[in-house]
């Protein structure tokens, strides 16, 4: 009985790799993994091309890991600074505004009233300032290799989530100490974290793009953050603002974030919905305009920086 011919052409990538020499295998593996990217000059308004961020997610991860390691390298306390900074600020605010000035805290112990607001505020302030100088700080990379420039500000934003997570654990411990039981509203906390991150990214992209052309921006950032702190209800409650000014006060994107945090974690009473809604609209507008402006000027970064 004649033998049946069982030989066939390889069909799958694994079969092709086994059946071909090592050099051919290496080339085909690279071709199978790496997409083809054609770099062309932009004409007119550039598309946002946010899908590029997903393709470069590993690069974002390595940037974040690099920034976190550098931040606490050769420090004595290390990651403890993520806890000490908001705690020490809380102590100063509690003494000056809570004890001496006697500002109301709506029935909540003033230390935790302030610390709850300091967490999202410091996430916003530190991330925004880091994003603003990120392009200039990575100018050697911008000149040598192509990658989506939006990766740099996104990585600068994500690395501050580490500090926020550590500080949030301390906040939960403080709530347990003061006997504060969170309600079901605590499930909305991630939404306010995203809102704070979106606000930091939106304003940071504007500042980073301007900082490439005008280096005066980096000197104005500390003053901007200090001024912004006092117009945000961190050391005081937004209930102190007269009703006729509350809409204007809500144009501050961090007003809705801070009041939303207090509502979600402390069960803060009062109508904070309009403030959150107005602040959310402002954040969306700033984020879209910041993305468009960033993409528009992206092609000039390596030449100007």
Task: Specify the residue for token string 């200039």.
Answer: 136
Describe the crossing of helices 110-132 and 217-230 by its angle, rounded to 10 degrees: 160
pLDDT in tens, the chain (305 residues): 444 444 444 444 344 434 444 444 444 444 455 556 665 555 555 566 677 777 778 888 888 888 888 877 777 776 777 788 888 888 998 899 888 888 888 888 898 999 999 999 999 999 999 999 988 888 888 778 777 788 889 999 988 888 898 889 999 999 899 888 888 888 999 999 999 999 999 999 999 999 988 888 888 999 999 999 999 999 888 888 888 888 888 899 999 999 999 999 887 656 788 888 999 999 999 999 999 888 888 777 776 76
Sign, Cα dihedral of 192, 265, 105, 166: negative
- pTM for this one? 0.80
H or E element at residue 10 = none
CA distances from 51 to 18, 106, 146, 259 (A): 33, 45, 16, 33
Nearest Cα residue to 121 out of 65, 160, 176, 153: 160
């Amino acid at each position: 009985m004649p033998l049946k011919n069982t030989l066939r052409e390889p069909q799958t990538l694994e079969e092709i790799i086994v059946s071909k020499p090592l050099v051919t295998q290496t080339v085909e593996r690279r071709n199978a993994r790496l997409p083809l990217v054609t770099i062309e000059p932009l004409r007119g308004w550039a598309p946002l091309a946010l899908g590029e961020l997903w393709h470069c997610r590993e690069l974002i991860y390595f940037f974040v890991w690099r920034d976190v390691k550098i931040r606490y390298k050769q420090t004595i306390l290390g990651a403890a600074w993520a806890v000490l900074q908001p705690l020490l600020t809380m102590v100063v605010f509690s003494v000056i505004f809570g004890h001496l000035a006697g500002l109301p805290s709506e029935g909540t112990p003033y230390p935790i009233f302030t610390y709850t607001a300091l967490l999202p505020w410091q996430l916003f302030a530190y991330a925004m300032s880091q994003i603003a100088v990120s392009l200039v700080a990575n100018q050697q990379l911008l000149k040598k290799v192509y990658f989506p420039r939006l990766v740099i500000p996104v990585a600068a934003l994500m690395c501050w989530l580490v500090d926020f997570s550590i500080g949030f654990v301390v906040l939960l411990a403080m709530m347990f100490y003061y006997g504060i039981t969170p309600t079901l509203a605590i499930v909305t906390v991630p939404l306010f974290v995203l809102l704070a991150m979106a606000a930091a990214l939106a304003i940071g992209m504007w500042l980073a793009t301007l900082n490439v052309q005008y280096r005066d921006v980096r000197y104005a950032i500390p003053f901007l953050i200090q001024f912004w702190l006092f117009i945000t209800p961190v050391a005081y409650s937004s209930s102190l603002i007269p009703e006729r000014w509350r809409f204007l006060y809500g144009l501050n994107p961090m007003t809705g974030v801070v009041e939303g945090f207090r509502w979600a974690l402390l069960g803060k009473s009062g109508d904070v919905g309009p403030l959150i809604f107005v602040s959310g609209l402002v954040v969306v507008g700033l984020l879209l305009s910041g993305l468009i402006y960033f993409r528009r000027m992206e092609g000039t970064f390596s030449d100007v920086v």
